[in-house]
Amino acid sequence: HLSPSPPCSSGFSRAPFPLTAHSLPPSPSPLSASLQYEQLSRVVLNKKLPSESDIEKYAQDNLNIHKKGIFRKKFSIRDMLSWSKDPIRKPMLVLSDKSLKKDAVEMFKLVQIYMSDRKAKLGMSLNSVALEICNYGYSKPALRDELYIQICRQTTENPRRESLRRGWELLAICLSFFPPSPKFQTYLDSYMNRHRDPNFDFPEVGKWPIHVQVSHYASVACKRLERGGEGGKRPPRKPTLEEIDQVRLQIFRPSMFGSTLQEVMALQKERFPHYKLPWIQTTLSDEVLRLQGAQTEGIFRVSADVDEVMSMKMQLDRWERPTDWTDAHTPASLLKLWYRELYEPLIPDTMYNECIQHHDNPIRAIQIVDSLPDINRLVLSYLVRFLQIFARSEVVQQTKMDASNLAMVIAPNCLRCMSHDPRIIFDNARKEMAFMRTLIQYLDTNYIEGVV
């Protein structure tokens, strides 16, 4: 049986994240701790796949082989891909830039600190260390593969349960902000997939033994890589302390932000089995109206306080209905953010060109809406009906936001131009706005009345 982790003495300060997060109950598994570690952490080196994407194949071709001892004996590939309590003296991968070499060595120390394998400096927290690590990867793309191979190493043959858990946690966190290079992506994906077991997909996995947790971490990390790596739609993003905290929590409590509509509906199914629309969409829309958004000048155009938006976002991700807010701009800004962060845009990419082509044709625009997948059609129709409230002349007199202004601020959250040509992006922005204005003016949304 696995016993709960002993109190950590790594030197982390208590805020903003407790060091004993996800403490585990004794394992119900009959396997001893040593057998569990052997099964789990040796799998990367012993379970060979008939594939060119094995991380060992990558290591043979790319590792910067280290030497040890007075005779400068070379480390084996296995040694260099296995957990180490010691720091490294040079990067694991070949780096030509001298400053990057120094950064790589310091980054490995931070990985060890995060995983509780190295004593932290006074004042450090898990979030601050993770932020420092992620800033290396975000700001210096040449270090990204180095970071990921370091984490792969420290999660292989790791004899410490809490260290192993934190290593996988760190991997999932980093993949929320930046991917590896396309060259390394298949190797990293292969490494993570070899630690997944679909039989371990059940509720409250965070309370289960470490080998079960690692399978869950690996699944989350694979999904984040799929969406943020080559072929994905999520661009790299600059990490912040708040975002670090959020993406860690979302490993075990998925967010309604950044998901697909289908995933959002699946998340709410147990709580709201009869809802046909996303709870978060209707809740935020109601909140805008409750806070007199229809009488607020610049609604949807004026930005809200960033801290208040983030606080409301966290509240909603806990399935708590907002009640203590006073500024209509806060739910309005968060509602736009939810639409904008949908992994698949509200109007699918496959229909984007059709929308641009018929941006000023009411009949064709309505036909496009009718041809959308059911959930997209319902969500878009609810949004348009909501905007039609604000397009009424008596409301526009107070908000100064007519149909054109509303379309201008909402269109970028519903349609995504796939081109990187600035001229096309600029020209299409006008047509995206015209398409949304056409819907606000002409789409019959009476059928959505009373639908939740």
103 in a domain, yes or no?
yes
- Cβ neighbours for 51, distance < 8 A, ≥ 6 positions apart: 190
Q: Are residues 308 and 356 both part of a single domain?
A: yes
Q: What pLDDT sits at residue 43?
A: 40
Domain containing 365: what range? 265-448
Q: What pLDDT sits at residue 350?
A: 94
Q: Are residues 178 and 303 both part of a single domain?
A: no
Question: Rounded to whole angstroms, how far apart are CA atoms 428 and 421?
Answer: 11
Q: Are residues 357 and 308 both part of a single domain?
A: yes
Asked which of 185, 216, 251 is the last residue of a domain, the reply is 251
pLDDT > 70: what percent of the chain? 84
β-strand partners of 73 = 68
143 in a domain, yes or no?
yes
Residue 123, exposed/middle/buried by CB under 10 A (0-12, 13-18, 19+)?
exposed
Q: What pLDDT sits at residue 258?
A: 92
Asked which of 251, 275, 299 is the last residue of a domain, the reply is 251
Question: Rounded to whole angstroms, how far apart are CA atoms 64 and 89?
Answer: 11
Q: What pLDDT sits at residue 340?
A: 95
Over residues 151-163, the mean pLDDT reads 94
Q: Are residues 134 and 276 both part of a single domain?
A: no
Q: Report the 3 state secondary structure along the chain.
A: CCCCCCCCCCCCCCCCCCCCCCCCCCCCCCCCHHHHHHHHHCHHHHCCCCCCCCHHHHHHHHECCCEECCCCEECCHHHHCCCCCCCCCCCCECCCCHHHHHHHHHHHHHHHHHCCCCCCCCCCCHHHHHHHHHHHHHHCHHHHHHHHHHHHHHCCCCCCHHHHHHHHHHHHHHCCCCCCCHHHHHHHHHHHHCCCCHHHCCCCHHHCCHHHHHHHHHHHHHHHHHHHCCCCCCCCCCCCHHHHHHHHHCCCCCCCCCCCHHHHHHHHCCCCCCCCCCHHHHHHHHHHHHCCHHHCCCCCCCCCCHHHHHHHHHHHHCCCCCCCCCCCHHHHHHHHHHHHHCCCCCCCHHHHHHHHHCCCCHHHHHHHHHCCCHHHHHHHHHHHHHHHHHCCHHHHHHHCCCHHHHHHHHHHHCCCCCCCCHHHHHHHHHHHHHHHHHHHHHCCCHHHCCCC
Q: Are residues 414 and 316 both part of a single domain?
A: yes
Over residues 311-315, the mean pLDDT reads 93
Asked which of 223, 251, 279 is the last residue of a domain, the reply is 251
Instruction: Answer yes or no: is pLDDT of 246 > 70.
Output: yes
Instruction: Answer yes or no: is pLDDT of 29 > 50.
Output: no
What CATH code is carried by the domain that includes residue 319? 1.10.555.10
Question: Rounded to whole angstroms, how far apart are CA atoms 173 and 251?
Answer: 8
Over residues 240-247, the mean pLDDT reads 93
Q: Are residues 295 and 247 both part of a single domain?
A: no
Q: Are residues 181 and 288 both part of a single domain?
A: no
Instruction: Answer yes or no: is pLDDT of 70 > 90.
Output: no
Instruction: Answer yes or no: is pLDDT of 34 > 70.
Output: no
101 in a domain, yes or no?
yes
Q: What does the buried/exposed string (b/e) look like for 408-420 if buried means 16 or more CB atoms within 10 Å of the residue's CB? A: bbbbbbbbbbeee
Phi, psi of 275 (to 5 degrees): -70, 135
Q: Are residues 291 and 206 both part of a single domain?
A: no
192 in a domain, yes or no?
yes
Residue 334, exposed/middle/buried by CB under 10 A (0-12, 13-18, 19+)?
buried
What CATH code is carried by the domain that includes residue 93? 1.25.40.530
Over residues 249-256, the mean pLDDT reads 92
Question: Rounded to whole angstroms, how far apart are CA atoms 290 and 278?
Answer: 18
349 in a domain, yes or no?
yes
The residue type found at 6 is P
Neighbours of 339 (CB within 10 A): 18
Instruction: Answer yes or no: is pLDDT of 194 > 50.
Output: yes
Instruction: Answer yes or no: is pLDDT of 380 > 50.
Output: yes
Q: What pLDDT sits at residue 11?
A: 37
Q: Are residues 215 and 271 both part of a single domain?
A: no
Total domains in the fold of the chain = 2
Q: Are residues 285 and 235 both part of a single domain?
A: no
177 in a domain, yes or no?
yes
- Cβ neighbours for 257, distance < 8 A, ≥ 6 positions apart: 313, 317, 337, 338, 341
Q: Which of 284, 252, 261, 443 shows the shortest CA–CA distance to 355?
A: 443
The residue type found at 49 is L
pLDDT > 90: what percent of the chain? 71
Q: What pLDDT sits at residue 10?
A: 35
303 in a domain, yes or no?
yes
Q: Are residues 59 and 112 both part of a single domain?
A: yes
Instruction: Answer yes or no: is pLDDT of 17 > 80.
Output: no
- Cβ neighbours for 275, distance < 8 A, ≥ 6 positions apart: 265, 268, 452
Q: Are residues 237 and 363 both part of a single domain?
A: no
307 in a domain, yes or no?
yes
Provide the residue count of the chain: 452
Q: What pLDDT sits at residue 127?
A: 95
